């Protein structure tokens, strides 16, 4: 049975705050299941978060291990984080790291439709650069665009404890 966030006071539920984490993180770690082995790749991403539905957009080569795995099993787990800062304490157990993160479960789909791929790449570039780009049809066959629709996700924030830095 799945558990909720243990330290509930660190859970982030405000959509504006979740978007801030997604805007800042830039790199997502995608966990996959390769037969009976786990496999994780770091990747850049774009996202949309509308009406509570989170979608991630990835781009990469048309061949490779992650593509083979996603075709065989599209179920993925993802995690991204930002504002990572180690802090010090007086004793070892007071040391730690502040962070904000999002993670969740999703279904990956390798987009085939040219217009859907262009839209995915636009979202990717918007998140990564803040800019709008236009893509030509002929470029679309050279690249894989993967859409991950999150079926569930949570966000968490650990600030620096009061009195430490």
The only residue of 27, 84, 107, 139 in contact with ligand FAD, by rule CB under 6 A = 27
DSSP 42: E
Do residues 110 and 70 make contact, with C-beta atoms less than 8 angstroms apart?
yes
- Binding residue for ligand FAD, selected from 31, 60, 74, 96, defined by CB under 6 A: 60
Provide the minimum distance between the beta carbon of 27 and ligand FAD in the complex, in angstroms, as a whole number.
5
Q: How far is CA 36 from the centre of its chain?
A: 23
Among 43, 105, 110, 160, binds ligand FAD (CB under 6 A): 43
HSE of 164 in the Cβ direction (CA atoms, 13 Å)? Answer: 18
* Residue number with CB closer to ligand FAD (94 or 128): 128
C-alpha to C-alpha distance for 25 and 75, rounded to whole angstroms? 22
Q: Which of 158, 32, 139 is nearest to 83 (CA)?
A: 158
Closest residue to ligand FAD: CB criterion: 64
Minimum distance from residue 149 beta carbon to ligand FAD (Å): 18
43/105 with CB nearer ligand FAD = 43
Compare residues 87 and 99 and give the one whose CB is closer to ligand FAD. Answer: 99
Binding to ligand FAD by residue 41, rule CB under 6 A? Answer: yes
Could you tell me the smallest distance in angstroms from the CB atom of residue 42 to ligand FAD?
4
How many angstroms separate the CA atoms of 62 and 10, rounded? 39
Question: Phi/psi of residue 13, each to 5°?
Answer: -120, -15
Contacts of 126 (CB under 8 A, 6+ apart): 46, 132
Q: How many whole angstroms separate alpha carbon 41 and alpha carbon 28? A: 8
* CB of 22 vs ligand FAD, minimal distance in Å: 15
Give the nearest distance from C-beta 36 to ligand FAD in angstroms. Answer: 15
**Residues between 62 and 81 that touch ligand FAD (CB under 6 A):** 64-67
Footprint on this chain of ligand FAD (rule: CB under 6 A):
27, 41-44, 59-61, 64-67
């Amino acid at each position: 049975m799945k558990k909720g966030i243990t330290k509930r006071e660190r859970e982030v539920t405000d959509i504006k705050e979740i978007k801030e984490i997604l805007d800042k993180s830039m790199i997502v770690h995608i966990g996959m299941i390769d037969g009976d082995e786990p496999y994780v790749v770091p990747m850049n991403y774009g996202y949309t978060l509308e009406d509570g539905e989170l979608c991630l957009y990835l781009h990469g080569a048309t061949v490779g291990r992650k593509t083979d795995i996603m075709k065989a099993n599209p179920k993925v787990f993802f995690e991204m984080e930002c504002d990572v800062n180690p802090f010090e304490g007086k004793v070892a157990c007071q040391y730690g790291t502040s962070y904000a993160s999002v993670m969740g479960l999703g279904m990956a789909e390798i987009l085939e439709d040219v217009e859907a791929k262009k839209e995915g790449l636009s979202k990717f570039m918007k998140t990564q650069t803040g800019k709008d780009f236009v893509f030509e049809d002929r470029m679309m066959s050279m690249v894989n665009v993967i859409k991950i629709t999150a079926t569930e996700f949570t966000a968490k924030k650990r600030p620096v404890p009061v009195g430490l830095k």
